Structure 1
């Protein structure tokens, strides 16, 4: 089993859905570095310059040119009344890039936070993977120190460290014990998780669209096919979006050759339809969605619903039908700017509307979406519907 894992979801929601789409489309360099003569001659521009000079010369409060110009930039952005358009200073730009490519230093294992300390998953192409560690093994000692009675989070911290340093793990399973020496390295957090459910149902969960999600999805999708999947349950609940280019890469696995999304720009000459290169899948597909399925996740869900014939099960999605670009401004700063609307393959514009599920299944307020059928009624309903569709295909 390859269990779903949820990392820092609340942070990602704020940054990717409510604060940013994190989209990196190609950017046409149509800006001019010269200030237009009409602007230089306007009374408003003169007022701006006068205001700047008066504050610098006469204000009793400390100020710097950088502070005032940053404030002016933020003020321009605020006049758009667009929650998705933001000026990002260098540290904010770096933080956004980090969220789209999240990493940590370790050996590549996911641990249960409890007693005993168990390996729940081993990430591909990591030190733990190459050393032959596997899900279900128990960690007994770290660098020779027993973890019995140790706070699980403290144990995790002992495994983490600096890149290039070594850590020794003693693990056991079914009465067999082994000790492995691993060299810590920078590990990318996975965003795609797969497991086989009973009845030949392949479960694929995508937590967000980071810069490696497409490649991860290809690997996990083909793993499910090799395990004999006859239907796919794609879980996009609580997926706040991310890089649309990665959603397009995933769409190739599900959607037949043809349109996935159309972008409508201010200049109609820039409008473009992005296509799936295929091959897609002929297997029955059910997509689990909820009110926190947004942005790039909605693009993928809509394409599967409208072009592959997949069913959406859950609640209406967030409804984010606009696209942002992250545009460098120099010195590490950037502008996250809404530059286009997007339309689904059928031409629908879903801003503030969202996608309507084929089957509405409310989420119990006390249940956190998971990959465990017995603990997640919404997922169980999606599973049952997929099994029915598999029986009809």
Structure 2
């Protein structure tokens, strides 16, 4: 399996959405995302000069505040505010500075238990949009659904650009309620959700009738490609002749895991994706070839399939390695890297855009399925083969491919 060589042993490239699980702030499934020390980003000749006067105004304002403000000033709060203001001024909602508490939440392991409301959110049109609530989570049980817009938290309005602020309010203690205002189909309603402990199992598999294996992938966390490989292998040993890979509601995660997953079904040496960075430099990611090339495959996608999910979907679609069933994906075609700042803080930066093997960038556009199917508006949980119209169509398509 191919993985991109790292610039140091702990660095990771990530591509995902925000997840409201661990107090809502730990992002991208709450997984441990490796990072890079900020001083290693700059070459020796690029280190900031002590004689650089471009930030003199910042220190001038700081002196004015310290000299004239009528109350004591928290110097650490001033510094954090200045840094966050600078990062926010970039104008990219995925480029974010984390203080020590936020960075700890961000880097919490995504494979364990969490306290939160259990919903994945993204930013679209400067709004906080529910991508998917985890089935059985407090958010799901309270009625939140994909496409809902969170307009207020505890009665205070928040835009997409203020996601971090909203996250800080939503996070809290197990058993404590949080009040959200949800916009759905032009109508606002208030929902109170009690935070609870949540356990995530990122890879789930089952055998369906007709020698069909169904593998559901919640997030692209560390080692997930190997887990899917094992799950498919187990199903194949049980008699599966074709696989439905379910990426609905999957917000993404590690880019190298997306490459590893795509490699299971794509010929060795073929491009999974390529990226273009700040200097317009192109970097290609290739398949190492896997055990299941040529196996009949259907990929289930929806508006909650984002980032790393779209990397896989784009590659499989471009090569005709799978039939895509469901709804158009979210549309996040950019990649982030996380850098350590000091001992306890960090900054997440959008470092490149990515493209499918055919050169398609899906940012803001998404990927259209080969066979479009929507879930009924009145579908009741839990989703099973009896009421899941998308899964039913996937089974129908796969049976045709297997014959």
TM-score (norm 1): 0.69
Query: Are positions 1:389 and 2:367 aligned together?
Result: no
Query: Are positions 1:70 and 2:69 aligned together?
Result: no
- Does the residue aligned with 1:338 lie in a helix, a strand or coil? strand
Q: How many residues align?
A: 303
Tell me the distance in 2 between the aligned counterparts of 1:59 and 1:10: 37
User: In structure 2, which of residues 294, 312, 318 is the aligned counterpart of residue 300 of structure 1?
Assistant: 312
Distance 1:295 1:381, change over 3 A: same
Q: CA deviation at 1:284?
A: 1.4
Which residues of 2 match residues 33-48 of structure 1 at below 5 A?
36-37=48-49, 40-42=51-53, 44-48=54-58
User: In structure 2, which of residues 55, 60, 69 is the aligned counterpart of residue 59 of structure 1?
Assistant: 69
Distance 1:313 1:211, change over 3 A: same
Is contact 2:87-2:96 (8 Å) kept?
Answer: yes
Tell me the distance in 2 between the aligned counterparts of 1:369 and 1:235: 17
Q: Which has the higher helix share?
A: 1
User: In structure 2, which of residues 47, 57, 60 is the aligned counterpart of residue 50 of structure 1?
Assistant: 60
CA RMSD of the aligned region, Å? 3.3
Deviation per CA, 1:315-368, whole angstroms, max 9, x where unpaired? 100000000011111221110100000001111000000001001111223337
User: In structure 1, which of residues 345, 353, 373 is the aligned counterpart of residue 357 of structure 2?
Assistant: 345
Is contact 2:258-2:309 (8 Å) kept?
Answer: yes
Q: 1:290 maps to what in 2? A: 302
> Which range moved further: 352-361 or 362-371?
362-371
In structure 2, the gaps of 5 or more residues are 1-17, 115-134, 137-198
- Does the residue aligned with 1:93 lie in a helix, a strand or coil? helix
Deviation per CA, 1:235-280, whole angstroms, max 9, x where unpaired? 00000111111122212212221111111111244x3111110134
Which residues of 2 match residues 1-393 of structure 1 at below 5 A?
11=21, 16=27, 29-31=40-42, 36-37=48-49, 40-42=51-53, 44-103=54-113, 189-257=200-268, 258-269=270-281, 271-279=282-290, 280-367=292-379, 372-391=384-403
TM-score (norm 2): 0.68
Is contact 1:21-1:323 (8 Å) kept?
Answer: no
Tell me the distance in 2 between the aligned counterparts of 1:278 and 1:373: 32
- Does the residue aligned with 1:51 lie in a helix, a strand or coil? helix
Deviation per CA, 1:60-119, whole angstroms, max 9, x where unpaired? 233222111110110011111111111011221221222534347xxxxxxx99xxxxxx
Distance 1:288 1:255, change over 3 A: same
Deviation per CA, 1:17-69, whole angstroms, max 9, x where unpaired? 6x9998658889332587644x8444x41111111111122212332221111
Distance 1:338 1:20, change over 3 A: farther
In structure 1, the gaps of 5 or more residues are 1-7, 105-111, 114-187
Tell me the distance in 2 between the aligned counterparts of 1:372 and 1:41: 62
The structure number with the bigger radius of gyration is: 1
Distance 1:382 1:22, change over 3 A: farther
